[in-house]
Chain A
Amino acid sequence: MCLAVPGRVISIEGDDPLTRQGRVDFGGIVKPVNLAYVPDVREQDYVLVHVGFAITIVDPHEAERVFHYLECLETLEQEADELEPGRPVPQ
């Protein structure tokens, strides 16, 4: 029930902060979405949408982090192995 789907805001309409609406593109399917809870949103931003409301703006920089984190882990481990080649590897 707490499912939230990422989509790209393609247009924003309305001035009333409570009913401000956007058209959001979910991989080709465009739906109207209430933008009251993302007052800073701009066109082309990605938002997570839950029951018709955008609940957060996706941070594109942070979105890459999960991949870098993995690369960092692998690099750190390699360095540790090089420093301590006989180190037992825990299973």
Chain B
Amino acid sequence: MKYRDEYRAPDAARGYADAIARITTRPWTLMEVCGGQTHAIVRFGIDQLLPEAISLIHGPGCPVCVTPIAYIDKALEIAALPRVILCTFGDMLRVPGTQSDLSAARARGADVRVVYSPLEALTVARQNPRHEVVFFAVGFETTAPANAMAVYQAQREGLGNFSVLVSQVLVPPAIRALLERPGNRVQGFLAAGHVCTITGYEEYEPIAREHGVPIVVTGFEPLDILEGVYRCVRQLEQGESCVENQYSRAVRRPGNAMAQQVMQAVFQVVPRQWRGMGDIPDSGLGLSPAYRSYDAETRFGAVNGEAEMRGDCLSGAVLRGEIRPDQCPAFGSRCTPERPLGVTMVSEEGACAAYYRYRRPTGGSARE
């Protein structure tokens, strides 16, 4: 596939790895923010190509993973009501709520449908005028314009039986929160390229300046990630802290103006609770007053309850980058994708799922 396969060329990857090794004079700790990057790093063994001095720690950039458990419980509660169809991205199906998950609810007879796009949920609403159709709108900035468009179109068509359960989160406030945590080890960030296609990267410039950390907007293929690491290490070695754009084939500094316009009409910035990170001010999106009648929380009651899962799952520490998934005592034994203790083992982008899939304890190719 063009614009994908060529960024996986092994020779060029080794070229970058060698270039990184040549400029590295001391240990550096970088965080890749996005779960999609984590998967690429673990899948292609990018961390193993890097010099020992470079540590990559995995960030909280998995929207499914950071969605508070109270939202899963709310989705389950709504799905159990008569004449309700709950539409969701497939990633949410097996995320455990307090008692159950959406997949089990569907097996018990709830009408839970997996959609690829929020526009499909609109189609379901058009086709089922006697049902309430609720779309579980989860995601980072990458997904927010798509989710916003579904609400925008619903209002334009007067589609009164459609609503959204919104758990949208924003990356820059989470980066700030990580940097401000006591004991923070992260010295540079690979920012999530697809998020920045929408938002651009101006908002990252004050973070880099104020915290003295390089931030490199980075793509998702092995060469992208290696170039992102190179640029980040080069800045660290030279004592710089700027925002650079590695993913320039897709990201422009101001972002996508049209997408921002629809997002800003439909959503407003709100405080959000993150699993593993707690309350972060201004770190989420909720429906703006003009669209509040499309809020599932207006129709079915507000979400309240805890963000975190009880029990012995260490996914909070994984999401904060404090431990690697394979350092959790339950990893691969009491916790597997079939019987997950926590959401980071369930989600396609969860760090635990990536390690389980590509670094099975028995296959043990992980360093250390």
Q: Which A residues lie at the B interface, using CB under 8 A?
A: 1-6, 8, 18-19, 26-27, 34, 36-39, 46, 48, 50-53, 55-56, 58-60, 62-63, 65-67, 69-70, 73-74, 77, 89-91
Contacts and interface: CB of A to CB of B under 8 A. Distances in A.
A91 B347 CA distance: 37
Contact of A34 (B15, B36, B119): B119
B2 interface: yes
A37 B256 contact: yes
A77 B138 CA distance: 46
Contact of A74 (B19, B36, B143, B252): B19
A48 B140 contact: no
A2 B34 contact: yes
B2 A6 contact: yes
B153 interface: yes
Given A18-B149, A52-B116, A1 B63 contact: yes
Nearest to B64: A1
Interface stretch (B190-198, B302-310, B315-323): B190-198
Contact of A50 (B7, B142, B230): B142
B264 to A, nearest CB: 13
Given A51-B146, A56-B251, A66-B7, A4 B89 contact: no
B224 interface: yes
Contacts of A90: 22-25
Contacts of B262: 36-37
B3 A1 contact: no
26 contacts: A1-B63, A1-B89, A1-B142, A2-B34, A18-B153, A27-B2, A36-B258, A37-B262, A50-B194, A51-B146, A52-B118, A52-B119, A52-B146, A56-B252, A56-B256, A58-B250, A59-B250, A62-B249, A65-B249, A66-B7, A67-B223, A70-B16, A74-B15, A77-B22, A91-B24, A91-B51
B64, B149, B252: residue with the most chain A Cβ atoms closer than 10 Å:
B149
Given A48-B197, A70-B15, A58 B64 contact: no
Interface in B178-215: 192, 194-195, 197-198
A27 B246 CA distance: 25
Contacts of B258: 36-39
Given A51-B118, A51-B143, A70-B227, 4 more contacts: A1-B63, A27-B2, A48-B250, A58-B3
Contact of B62 (A1, A38, A65): A1
Contact of A55 (B35, B194, B227): B194
B152 interface: yes
